[in-house]
């Protein structure tokens, strides 16, 4: 396999004209040769194909080879309604050339294979976070100042736990000292990194242009990456190497640290004094605790309201370090107090790229405020159903599908990957926020509930929004994660259709409610009939079909018949087949409101 038609990063080995000797790098497939076989097929005197064909006597057995978007070759086997991955090459995804893109670091032992070097951030944050486009790589947090200041404002960060970047032609120069190698790179605006070999005599290597094929390595040789001086803040202080800093006298550093420690001790004492009330009330102390005065200043006395709900309003604010935040100021009521505690006890202790981050809270007297990361593009309902200059807003299908995938991943995390199972209880477009890259972030955990995984607790109070409520809320049945699955299904159908679930559909002189109409069209294999007319010509209909099937499976009345969110995600990703359920007439007023 070749990268960019030039760099080979994997080979199967040569075909040896024998089934017992063929392809030395494909041994794992031998276990499946009883189901099929490799052979050549002559097409003409000058060409032939190498083919893997299944044997006729194997019932319902299908295989497919694909070149995955991540750059590896994969073999899937299906013996029913599910595809199983049985083989892939290269075995280590980090062996795929440039899999993490420019300035990306690969680690085959982590669930998240790729991350950015210190001083860099993902070029396309949403795609990177959802593992869709790692090869897009990373970009600098701050631009270099080399050309403007002859390189004097750039610094170098030492990397010692990574393999050297791959470059087919890295120039060697005669410098034999670290300082000399450093200066040679600093004075060349095209130089992005340097390393001094441990050989005798040592040699200096300079990297010109983007760094690629980086990977974690316990025995990596130290090398130094060029960054803007402004990047050398507290987050990089432990790895700072700025050679000029080596000349600072140790006593001066010691005195500075002593003063800093005394100041930190004073700040800690003040925060402890202010946070006593929060600790006594059972609030988690791992989150920063803000004073009411601090949040008044951050929001300019709650000047810019971003939105409001049943129990409070959200205001835009800016922290002293210029971080934009959203501050939710809750009303003084028993229900608002419950929502305040629910938010802190759920999202305050977890982190996921598709969950809005809670940055801190304030609890002073009757004041209850929550501080969240600022999400710039508002909620999904505004982008999906809103207007702009008198015209409907239109999200393209690719963006809608990525929003559905991200939301599904968030729910998988809440249901399956947290220490305790968290049921959100209010999935709807209003609670799905979109960042600057239109990456979804699930928000508003005021109704969320932490449950034991055996669901031994019983929820007695109906939670959620009508139109998205699962039938078991109304019937008084046990509440499990399947209520979130149901609400996600309704939201999924709204994403496909661009319609609110409370809309009544007039068809052939009859009136139908949204979910009944959508389920009927999908059951009758008329998926295209439900697609938003604004995107139907540009939508990937295979993705639409998978999303529609997943949506209609999610809204089945019997919770046991609904898939889990893990299965929903697999359906959306195409690794699990989905089929429309047996059609059932439903009580329409349970699904929507007019």
Q: Torsion over CA of 178, 182, 183 and 188, rounded to 10 degrees?
A: 150
User: Other CB atoms closer than 10 Å to residue 262's CB: what's the count?
Assistant: 10
Q: Give, to the nearest 10 degrees, the angle between helix 397-412 and helix 565-573.
A: 150
112 and 104 in contact (C-beta within 8 Å)?
no
Listed in sequence order, the DSSP H helices in 372-527 are 380-385, 397-412, 471-475, 482-497, 514-523
Instruction: Measure the CA–CA gap between 150 and 189, rounded to whole angstroms.
Output: 8
Is 426 a known active-site residue?
yes
Going by C-alpha positions, the residue among 163, 225, 240 that lies closest to residue 192 is 225
Which 3 state secondary structure label does DSSP give 255?
A: helix
Going by C-alpha positions, the residue among 593, 339, 310, 309 that lies closest to residue 466 is 593
Give the active site residue among 426, 435, 444, 532: 426
And the tokens for 357? 């981050």
The label of the residue with tokens 């009859």 reads 510
- The H or E element that residue 567 is part of is helix 565-573
Instruction: Measure the CA–CA gap between 395 and 400, rounded to whole angstroms.
Output: 6
Decide the pairing of beta strands 104-106 and 214-215: parallel
User: Other CB atoms closer than 10 Å to residue 465's CB: what's the count?
Assistant: 17
Q: Give, to the nearest 10 degrees, the angle between helix 514-523 and helix 541-554.
A: 120
Which 3 state secondary structure label does DSSP give 146?
A: helix
403 and 495 in contact (C-beta within 8 Å)?
yes
Which residues are catalytically annotated?
426
């Amino acid at each position: 396999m070749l990268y960019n038609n030039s760099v080979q990063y994997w080979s199967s080995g040569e075909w040896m004209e024998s089934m017992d000797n063929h392809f030395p790098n494909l041994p794992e497939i031998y276990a499946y040769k009883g189901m099929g076989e490799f052979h050549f097929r002559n097409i003409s005197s000058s060409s032939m194909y190498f083919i893997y064909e299944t044997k006729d006597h194997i019932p319902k057995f299908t295989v497919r080879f694909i070149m995955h978007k991540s750059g590896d070759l994969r073999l899937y086997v299906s013996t029913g309604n599910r595809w199983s991955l049985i083989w892939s090459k290269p075995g280590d995804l980090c062996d795929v050339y440039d899999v993490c893109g420019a300035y990306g670091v690969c680690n085959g032992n982590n669930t998240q294979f790729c991350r950015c070097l210190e001083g860099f951030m993902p070029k396309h944050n949403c795609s990177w976070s959802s593992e869709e486009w790692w090869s897009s790589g990373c970009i600098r947090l701050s631009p270099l100042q080399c050309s403007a200041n002859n390189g004097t404002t750039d610094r170098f960060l030492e990397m010692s736990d990574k393999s050297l970047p791959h470059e087919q032609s890295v120039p060697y120069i005669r410098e034999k000292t670290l300082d000399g190698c450093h200066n040679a790179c600093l004075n060349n605006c095209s130089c992005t990194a340097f390393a001094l070999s441990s050989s005798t005599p040592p040699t200096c290597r300079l990297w010109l242009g983007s760094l690629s094929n980086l990977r974690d390595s316990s025995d990596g040789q130290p090398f130094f990456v060029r960054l803007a001086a402004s990047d050398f803040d507290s987050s990089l202080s432990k790895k700072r190497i700025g050679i000029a800093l080596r000349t600072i006298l140790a006593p001066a550093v010691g005195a500075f640290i002593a003063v800093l420690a005394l100041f930190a001790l004073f700040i800690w004492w003040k925060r402890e004094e202010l946070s006593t009330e929060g600790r006594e009330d059972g609030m988690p102390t791992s989150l920063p605790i803000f004073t009411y005065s601090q949040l008044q200043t951050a929001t300019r006395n709650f000047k810019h309201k971003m939105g409001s709900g049943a129990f409070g309003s959200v205001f835009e604010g800016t922290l002293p370090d210029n971080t934009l935040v959203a501050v939710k100021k809750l009303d003084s009521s028993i229900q608002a107090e419950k929502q305040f505690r629910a938010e802190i006890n759920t999202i305050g202790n977890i982190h996921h790229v598709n969950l809005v981050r809670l940055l801190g809270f304030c609890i002073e007297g009757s004041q209850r405020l929550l501080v969240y990361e600022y999400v710039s593009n508002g909620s999904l309902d505004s982008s999906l159903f809103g207007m702009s200059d008198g015209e409907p807003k239109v999200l393209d299908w690719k963006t809608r599908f990525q929003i559905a995938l991200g939301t599904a991943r968030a729910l998988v995390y809440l249901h399956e990957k947290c220490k305790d199972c968290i049921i959100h209880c209010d999935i709807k477009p209003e609670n799905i926020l979109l960042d600057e890259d239109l990456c979804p972030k699930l928000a508003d955990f005021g109704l969320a509930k932490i449950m034991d995984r055996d669901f031994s607790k019983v929820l007695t109070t109906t939670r959620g929004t009508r139109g998205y409520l699962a039938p078991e809320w109304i019937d008084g049945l046990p509440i499990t994660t399947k209520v979130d699955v149901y609400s996600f299904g309704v939201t999924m159908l709204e994403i496909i259709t661009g319609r609110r679930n409370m809309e009544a559909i007039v068809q052939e002189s009859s009136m139908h409610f949204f979910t009944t109409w959508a389920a009927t069209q999908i059951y009758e294999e008329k998926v295209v009939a439900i697609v938003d007319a604004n995107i139907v010509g540009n939508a990937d209909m295979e993705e639409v079909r998978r999303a529609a099937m997943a949506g209609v499976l999610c809204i089945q009345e019997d919770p046991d018949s609904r898939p889990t969110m893990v299965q929903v995600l697999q359906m959306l990703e195409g690794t699990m087949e989905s089929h429309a359920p047996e059609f059932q007439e439903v009580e329409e007023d349970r699904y929507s409101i007019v």
